[in-house]
Amino acid sequence: MSGPVPGVAFPPLRPSPPVPPPPSAMPRTTTQPSPPQPARTGIWIAIGTIGMSFAALTSAMVVRQSGAADWRHFQLPSLLYVNTVVLLASSGTLEWSRRRIAAIPGGTGSFVPPLQALSGLYITLAFGLLFVTGQVIAWRQLAAQGLFLATAPSSAFFYVFTALHGVHVVGGLGGLVYVLSRLRPTVSPVRPAPLGAAALYWHFMAGLWLYLLVILATRV
């Protein structure tokens, strides 16, 4: 049997390697495979398919507009820009909350999300509802000008784009409500994946809206 003799100190022949921390305490490195997050994967796939739908509609608009004598340009309601700010702000508050909650070490079994972070999620919800309401008001403003779905192809695409985006935003609001229900202090341990997935979806909604706004502002 080999080993140090008790009571006799030998100088080390070479610097001893640092003792690796136990696996549970090891920080995650880029070489480690991250655990699967089906919710996040699912949202990425949903983003792909939603993006494809809007790409199809965009190409349909380009084709329909080209050479069409009945295309009618009109001024977008300025409320849309206010709505844009509201949606971007909601994205910001959600990201702020997500980071606050993600920074809390998990696995304690008695997780209580901080009130500030939760209030950030409620503010996101309120902003989201405000955005949807603002979009409906913008529709009413256009209708007051005599621009309805069937008035012109430009107005038709405007209503189709905003309605489909609105439906997806409402779906996102449902997802946020679900995440909030999971974050109640009585539910433990907290699983951060649904929150991250919901945030990813919500940011995509904001980005998609910016894209649609540019398309609509330049074409209708």
Partner 1 sequence: MTQTTAHHHAPPQGFLRTHVFSLDHKVIGKQYLDLALVAVCTGMVLSWLMRFHLAWPETPIPGLGRVSPTGAAGGVITPEYYLALMTMHGTIMVFFVLTTAPFAGFGNYFLPIQVGAEDMAFPRINMTSFWVTLVAFLVLVAAFFVGDGPPLSGWTAYAPLSAVGKDAGPGQGVGQTLWAVSITLFCVAQLLGALNFITTTLDLRTKGMSLARMPYSTWAWFITSVIGLIAFAVLMPACILLILDRVAGTSFFIPSGLVISDRLQPHSGGSPLLWQHLFWFFGHPEVYIAILPGFGIVSHILPVFARKPLLGPRVLIASLVAIAFLSYTVWGHHMFLSGMNPFSATLFSVPTLIITIPATIVTLLWIGTIYGARLRFTTPALFCLGFVSVFVSGGISGFFLAQPSIDTYLHGTYFVVGHFHFVMGVAAMFGIFAGTYFWAPKMFGRLMSETLGKWHFWLTFIGVYCVFMPMHYLGLAGNVRRYSAFTDDYLKPMIPLHRFITIAALFTGAAQLIFLFNLVWTRLRGPKAPDNPWEATTLEWSTTSPPPFDNFGGRPPVVHHGPDEYGGNSAAGDYVMQASSESGRVA
**Contact residues: partner 1, CB under 8 A:** 33, 35-38, 41-42, 45-46, 48-50, 52-54, 56-57, 60, 63-64, 68-71, 149-150, 153, 156, 160, 164
Residue written as token pair 């980005």: 207
Q: How far is the CB of 44 from partner 1 (least distance, A)?
A: 9
Nearer to partner 1, 71 or 96 (CB): 71
Q: How far apart are the first and last CA of the chain?
A: 85
Please give the Cα distance from 83 to 205 (Å, whole number): 13
Rounded (10°) angle between helices 192-219 and 153-182 = 170
Q: How far is the CB of 113 from partner 1 (least distance, A)?
A: 23
Q: How far is the CB of 68 from partner 1 (least distance, A)?
A: 5
Could you write out the DSSP letters of every residue in 133-161?
HHHHHHHHHHHHTT--TTT-HHHHHHHHH
Q: How far is the CB of 53 from partner 1 (least distance, A)?
A: 5
Residue written as token pair 């913008």: 138
Cβ–Cβ under 8 Å, residues 118 and 199 = no
Nearer to partner 1, 19 or 150 (CB): 150
Nearer to partner 1, 42 or 189 (CB): 42
Q: How far is the CB of 206 from partner 1 (least distance, A)?
A: 20
Nearer to partner 1, 90 or 154 (CB): 154
Please give the Cα distance from 169 to 174 (Å, whole number): 9
Nearer to partner 1, 53 or 145 (CB): 53
